[in-house]
Amino acid sequence: MPDFSTSLALLTSPAILFFFVGAAAAFARSDLAIPESVSKALSLYLMLCIGFKGGVEARTAGLNGDFLSAAAIGVALSALMPLVAFVILKRVPRLDRPTLCALAATYGSVSVVTFAAGQQHLEAVGLPSGGYMAAVLALMETPAILTALLLLNGAGRGEPGRRRTILREVFVGAASVMLLGSFLVGLISGEAGMARLDLFVGPLFQGALCFFLLDIGLIAARRLMEGGRKLTPGVIGFALGFPLLSAGVALGLARLAGLEAGNAALLTILAGSASYIAVPAAMRLAAPKADAGVFVTASLAITFPFNLTLGIAVYTAAAVWLWR
């Protein structure tokens, strides 16, 4: 049976504990707040670090068949799982089509911070993963949004001009540019570049992650208090169950493709995550009538804490068990 004892290391890590500090402060109605400009800067910094370190490690290891397999699985999951989510969510009452499509995109796309927490957990349990998984992360962000746009506009909804604006935001948005751009910089500069930026993308990363997760804890708890009444039992069940389904599919495909255990675990963690940065930004343009109190709150206040407290450890343990 899998050994779940290492999950304690994740729950007691400083970054995760700061998430709970933020949530507790919000529930206590503290006036603690992180300025939006600081929060955005931290998000960009985290993506820069993840992408750059991934590019350096990818150059060291070489972009091999394992990367191509992981990338193909990741893109396929991001493009196709929103269709599965759409079918499931059609059975959930009181969901209008824009909100339904936004939920499908949210749970088909991925979370950068969950990826970072997953990397920390894999390092803690001694399960190495390839640096190129940062590129897989970047590739998995946009296909789900495109699938949701097709679902939303499939019956002629939306204006051509708006669709062009949305597609531009998806492909040249801040998250995509920062992740892929920093990955390419790391890939080109290699170990020489890492030697120059070691302090910036290494030790300082942990402090920034703590600060960012403190902010996420504040936002998640406040979203839950403000929009909790909009989360029906069907939406809550979906927010907890669909990540497990998506992670299970990813783990099975990774096993069939023969990925290494660490890469399979990280791909599974990505598949089990849900976006709360890229998708809300795109849906603000694509589906202005979609209820953010439902799809953002479900991702940020239910799925994200679930993955931090239990999901990441479960996905990792399942990968270790299957690769024994």
Rounded Cα distance between 194 and 200, Å, is 9
Q: How much is the pLDDT for 24? A: 94
Q: How much is the pLDDT for 181? A: 86
Q: What is the pTM of this model?
A: 0.80
* 203-234 tens-digit pLDDT: 898 898 888 889 888 887 887 887 667 788 99
Rounded Cα distance between 184 and 194, Å, is 13
Mean pLDDT for each consecutive 10-residue tract of the chain (324 residues)? 54 82 93 88 84 81 80 94 96 89 94 88 86 85 84 60 64 72 88 91 88 85 78 93 97 95 95 86 74 85 90 92 89
SS3 (DSSP) at 58: helix
Single-letter amino acid code for the residue at 312 = I
* Alpha-carbon distances of 3 from 11, 128, 314, rounded to whole Å: 15, 17, 9
Q: How much is the pLDDT for 224? A: 80
Question: How many other CB atoms are found less than 10 A from the CB of residue 169?
Answer: 18
* 169-194 tens-digit pLDDT: 666 767 667 877 888 898 899 889 99
The CATH architecture that domain 7-322 belongs to is Up-down Bundle (1.20)
Rounded Cα distance between 86 and 70, Å, is 24
